[in-house]
Structure 1
Amino acid sequence: MTLNPAIIGDNAFAPGVTAATYVPDQLIAGRFPLTTDTVTLAAGQNLPRGAVLGVITATGKFRLSAAASTDGSQTPAAILVDGVNATNGDTLAGVYLTGEFNQRAVIFGAGHSVSSTKEALRLREIFLRSSVSAADPS
């Protein structure tokens, strides 16, 4: 990471001091309690934060929920907390089991959309909300 002394001041090159710019992704959309858990993400996936996951009935492993799946994962069950690369094998991953999420920031699998998943997620206390921007004061 390249540090910009103009942004972080005189401590830019002090030992043990690092700086990074925080850029919120707007995934969380409200104050409904967030409940998390650690699950096994099935091998062969590289998923971003906010991916809508389903559970494979036979194994209990999670995968990106796709509408055409017939293994149980077609039903949305959780939202991925952080991006996870499980390309080379099953990987533990954090998921949100409840909460309010910005419907523009969640990632849907093939055949899914806000309208096709909203009710199934609501039954699990995962609420998809439209983003609301602040009014322009001018």
Structure 2
Amino acid sequence: MRDLYTKLGSVDPTNLIAGSRYPIDHIGVTLAEDTGEIKNGTVLGKITATGVYVPVDSTATDGSESPVCVLAEDIDTAILTDAVAYRCGYFYRDALIFGGSDTYENHELEMQRLGLYMTKGVNEKGAVA
């Protein structure tokens, strides 16, 4: 009989999620093999030809130049290639990690269209910094 449930990983609370202003939803993704350790909060793009995910990089031309989701856990791709990612949510922009020399400015509008919203951090008085 086929397994009806497979554990892909686990998610630990971090300073990545900015709140519940927008819905948060998860998906399972397959990361490209042997791309090293990819950290929680990395914005991922999807390589069109293979369907695997890598850190988004605006200089790429294989489909991974466009953001798709945000990785929800630290993964060493030499050991495990399946992972959990957020396909929508509300994130602190300074906690997000991008590939190449990209920053949130390169992808902010496209991420908003996907339901991946960003905000600045909050200072010690609770105001948006």
Counterpart in the other structure of 1:27: 16
Counterpart in the other structure of 2:62: 71
How large is the RMSD of aligned CA atoms in angstroms?
1.8
Show structure 1 runs of 5+ residues with no match.
1-22
Query: What is the alpha-carbon distance in structure 2 between the residues aligned to residue 60 and residue 36 of structure 1?
Result: 17
Kindly indicate whether the alpha-carbon contact (under 8 Å) linking 1:25 and 1:105 is maintained by their aligned counterparts in 2: no
Cα distance, 1:70 vs. partner?
0.8
Aligned amino acid, residue 65 of structure 2:
Q
Kindly indicate whether the alpha-carbon contact (under 8 Å) linking 1:35 and 1:97 is maintained by their aligned counterparts in 2: yes
Cα distance, 1:111 vs. partner?
2.8
Instruction: From 44, 54, 76, give the equivalent of 2:45.
Output: 54
Kindly report which structure 2 residues correspond to 1:1-138, keeping only aligned pairs within 5 A, or say none. 25-31=14-20, 32-45=22-35, 46-87=37-78, 91-135=81-125
Equivalenced residue count is 113
Query: What is the alpha-carbon distance in structure 2 between the residues aligned to residue 120 and residue 111 of structure 1?
Result: 17
| Identity rate, percent | 31
Cα distance, 1:87 vs. partner?
2.8
Cα distance, 1:128 vs. partner?
1.1
Structure with larger Rg: 1
Query: What is the alpha-carbon distance in structure 2 between the residues aligned to residue 67 and residue 44 of structure 1?
Result: 21
After TM superposition, the score normalised by the length of structure 1 is 0.76
- CA distance 1:60–1:24, change in 2 (3 Å): closer
Cα distance, 1:24 vs. partner?
5.4
Show structure 2 runs of 5+ residues with no match.
1-11
Provide runs of 4+ in structure 1 moved above 4 Å: none
Aligned amino acid, residue 33 of structure 1:
P
